[in-house]
Amino acid sequence: MPGRNNFKALPIFIVLILVSVLSVTIFQSFSVDKNLENNGQVFGLQDENLPFPVHPNAKILSQTETDKHSYYTFKTSSSITVTEQWYKSELLKEGWTPSENDYIYNKGNERLELSILDNQDKTTLIIINYIY
């Protein structure tokens, strides 16, 4: 059936949506300690060489790492539309190719799952699940 392959990414997409909604709810209750900020970045991320582009106006809210998986949450004052367009352009420039949908990219054995959400404080949340 031609439409059957479209449903392969559905479970991943549903999990990303659920994680994204939970992240929005959780992170809205936290405030960033201004003493930890440096050049718009938090927790020393500006010193880290990430294998994917980070939106130029983004501040990191959280970073979690496991054996072959990293999960990042950023916040930006840019609109969802501007942020989405920036990521689509920059990921393609850096050799990432879109996969099942416009929010999942692959580069060799690496996978990047991107969620971009509207936040209640008129900012945009960027959630990146990086699998390597």
What pTM, to 2 d.p., does this model score?
0.67
CATH number for the domain spanning 61: value is: 3.30.310
Beta strands in 36-123 (DSSP E): 37-38, 41-42, 59-66, 69-76, 97-98, 104-107, 110-118
β-pair type (97-98, 69-76): unpaired
Dihedral sign (CA 90, 111, 36, 47): negative
* pLDDT tens for each residue of 84-132: 999 999 999 999 999 978 899 999 999 999 999 999 899 999 999 999 9
Q: How far apart are CA 22 and CA 33, in angstroms?
A: 21
Task: Look at the chain and report how many structural domains it folds into.
Answer: 1
At 5, the pLDDT band (50, 70, 90 cuts) reads: low
- In which domain, by residue range, is 114 found? 4-131
Buried b (16+ CB within 10 A) or exposed e, 37-50: eeeebbbebeeeee
What percentage of the chain exceeds 70 in pLDDT? 64
